[in-house]
Amino acid sequence: RVLFRSTRAALKLADYVVTEAGFGADLGAEKFIDFKCLKAGLAPRAAVLVMTVRALKYHGGVKREALGQEDVAALERGLVNLERHYRNITEHYGLPCVVCINHFTADTDAEIALIVRKVESLGGRAVVARHWAQGGAGAEALAQAVVETVTANRDRQIGRAHV
């Protein structure tokens, strides 16, 4: 009940409330949407899928000690993971989704461009966030993308596609 009260209080105080729901759309988003939102009567207007180039390369078969080196081929193989999470959010839950690329210094322009192209091919939008290095300024583009996504979908009925 305390979680519900804090979210409701935040909704009264701000135009946008962001809830960190955990790692992975298969676990974090599922618990948040299927349990918390259902129990509290909340209806999210969008989701942000946070990922890293490093994680996608790891899913593409790169060993941990080599994650700091450019490997577009491994990244391409790992994109299946991103696609699955993106489709879970957009198709299973029926939510618009912004993909946040949580930037590391070893990420290359080619790797970032590949992710952006992939997300765009899915009909989405990917934004690089550098908040770890630049503070709030490094997340402004992400915040703007979320606001634009929510605004663009304000009148759309959002909810689980299979219900």
Residue 36 — very low, low, confident or very high, per pLDDT cuts 50/70/90?
Answer: confident
pTM: 0.88
- Distance CA(145)–CA(74), nearest Å, equals 28
Mean pLDDT computed over 102-129 = 97
Mean pLDDT computed over 39-57 = 92
The partner residues of 126 in beta bridges, in order of sequence, read 99
CA distances for 108 relative to 58, 86, 113, 122, angstroms: 15, 22, 9, 22
The predicted-structure confidence for 118-163, as pLDDT tens digits, reads as follows 999 999 999 999 998 999 999 999 999 999 999 998 877 665 543 3
- Distance CA(93)–CA(11), nearest Å, equals 21
* Predicted confidence (pLDDT) at residue 26 exceeds the cutoff of 70: no
Residue 27 — very low, low, confident or very high, per pLDDT cuts 50/70/90?
Answer: low
**Ramachandran angles phi, psi of 160, nearest 5°:** -65, 130
The secondary structure of 117-156 as a DSSP string is: HHHHHTT-EEEEE-HHHHGGGGGHHHHHHHHHHHHHTTTS
- Distance CA(163)–CA(157), nearest Å, equals 13
Residue 31 — very low, low, confident or very high, per pLDDT cuts 50/70/90?
Answer: confident
- Distance CA(29)–CA(113), nearest Å, equals 26
CB 112 within 8 A of CB 53: yes
> Reduced to 3 states, what is the DSSP secondary structure of residue 87?
helix
- What distance lies between CA 78 and its chain's CA centroid? 16
